[in-house]
Structure 1
Amino acid sequence: MTPFLLLFVALATASPVRRQTSGLDANGDGLISKDEVFAAMSLHEALTALDRDGDGFIYLPQIIELWGVGDKFYELNTDGDDHLTFREFENGMSLSDFYDQFDFNADGSLDAAEAYQLIYIYDVINNPSFTNPLDSNGDGKLSKLEVTSHMTYDEVLTALDADGDQRLSATELNILLGSETTEFFDDQDENGDGYVSFQEAHEHRMSLSRVFDRLDQDDSDYLEDPEGAGFYVVWDRILQAQAGTGPVTG
């Protein structure tokens, strides 16, 4: 069973609290109708909510995360580049078409599991102070897209560097890497000084994506608890630094 289908089954059997359909379910019947979506958002607003980095583009991994397959990306990508512009999206798809992509059983309405991503979109549109949490879709685990679209490898290194000396001790690395710390340290501490410098941390083509893969010990393509715990700590530190609430500390 694919990770997307596993996610779908998990959502369909989730607890009642996690399965609530929020304010998007205007009549409270537990289902999201097309009329409720039409009354709540435009396609452009939905695309803006999905554009996490604000660059005006939607990428293939986001389409796959939305609908499980990339077919619509290739159908809408008229110029054959690596992204969809809002114009490409809106020229090839209406809000009704967008809705239909979530209606996996084609019964004309969305239950809580089918509407999961639309609920996230609705929350972003209707809450200007929405903090864009690391677990963007609220499914309790982290995808590679969620991690790499929120932070860069250099931001992670800086967040881990508690004393600001541009090098990381095993203790600092352990916050993110946990049981993978020793192996990472052995791979990256090229000069054997007991620290991984930022330069060393980029050796062997190391990247945020490859760190994710190291932490994904069950090869599920997601970081479930406790695999992703360190990323939440790192993300909090990055947000604190961006907000200017004080130096990043251990």
Structure 2
Amino acid sequence: MAPFLLLFVALATGSPVKRQTTGGLDANGDGLISYDEVFNTMSLHEALVALDTDGDGFIYLPQIIGLWGVGDKFYELNVDGDDHLTFREIENQMSLRDFFNEFDFNNNGTLDAAEAYQMNFIYDTINNPTFGNPLDANGDGKLSVLEVQSMNYDEVLVALDADGDMLLTHDELMVLFGGLTAEFIHDQEGRDHDGVLDFQEAEAHHMDVEKVFEILDLDENNYLENGEGAGFYTIWEVHLNSANSATA
């Protein structure tokens, strides 16, 4: 199924905290991101707000892994040992410079294109606010784990359940999984083998959005592109319309 292309009008803003809003994060166009370029565009708090895709005020382990490839920093910052980081936990132990350095994997003082991908995502989220936070938040034509995390797995299941019976048929799951649907059903369904998943079965084996992302990422390049993420666009539209109806 082709994705619904969601077109949103950018909201103009005069917010004083957005100090540099033209030219992108790479202000001098040298292909590298320096600390000064980051410092001139955002505070650490603004970066954390941009990463908090569900707006609950917390940063979770999968988001830390998505940022830096490993979860070490989550455990280092998680002083109370719960399942999330508050902004205060992070800001009490990190500066913006520390945050920047976590992306500088080769420790050369600047971020190349690969190192800067997530920082560019943060910049675009801060400086290009759009209605409803469209799924491809930075408009690069591909989806990252951070972007699909704007929906949780339960929301994905509800969006797929077209008739609202809390049972997911092959046709309903096809929207997201396409040719991988039969394999997904086989892996997730219980002993009845009826070819239909109830929500409990769909959540078997600790299935979540990140694991769905991995299933769909056929070329294993850590992005959904060239049609791999088409189903997520469709689900996002259903999710967005449902959210708008609930608040109308």
Give the match for residue 234 of structure 2: 233
Q: Secondary structure of 1:242's partner?
A: helix
> 1:50: Cα distance to partner?
0.9
> 1:175: Cα distance to partner?
1.7
Do the aligned residues in 1 keep the contact of 2:25 with 2:38 (CA within 8 Å)?
yes
Give the match for residue 86 of structure 1: 87
TM-score, normalised to structure 2, is: 0.71
Cα 1:103–1:159 change in 2 (3 A) is: same
More helix by share: 1
Q: Secondary structure of 2:130's partner?
A: coil
Q: Secondary structure of 1:236's partner?
A: helix
Do the aligned residues in 2 keep the contact of 1:25 with 1:31 (CA within 8 Å)?
yes
Distance, in Å, in 2 between the alignment partners of 1:108 and 1:203 is 47
TM-score, normalised to structure 1, is: 0.70
RMSD of Structure 2 on Structure 1 (CA): 3.4
Distance, in Å, in 2 between the alignment partners of 1:215 and 1:118 is 25
Cα 1:120–1:131 change in 2 (3 A) is: farther
* Aligned residue identity for 1:242: A
* Aligned residue identity for 1:155: E
Give the match for residue 97 of structure 2: 96
> 1:78: Cα distance to partner?
1.9
Out of 164-173 and 37-46, give the one that drifted further.
164-173
Do the aligned residues in 1 keep the contact of 2:159 with 2:238 (CA within 8 Å)?
yes
Give the match for residue 108 of structure 1: 109
* Aligned residue identity for 1:56: G
Q: Which has the larger Rg?
A: 1
Q: Does 1:209 align with 2:208?
A: yes
How many residue pairs get matched?
Answer: 219
Q: Secondary structure of 1:84's partner?
A: strand
> Percent of aligned pairs with the same residue?
59
Out of 29-38 and 162-171, give the one that drifted further.
162-171
Runs of 4+ off more than 6 Å: none
Do the aligned residues in 1 keep the contact of 2:132 with 2:240 (CA within 8 Å)?
no
In structure 2, stretches of 5+ residues that fail to align are 1-21
Do the aligned residues in 1 keep the contact of 2:50 with 2:125 (CA within 8 Å)?
yes
Q: Does 1:182 align with 2:182?
A: yes
Q: Secondary structure of 2:111's partner?
A: coil
Distance, in Å, in 2 between the alignment partners of 1:142 and 1:90 is 25
In structure 1, stretches of 5+ residues that fail to align are 1-20, 246-250
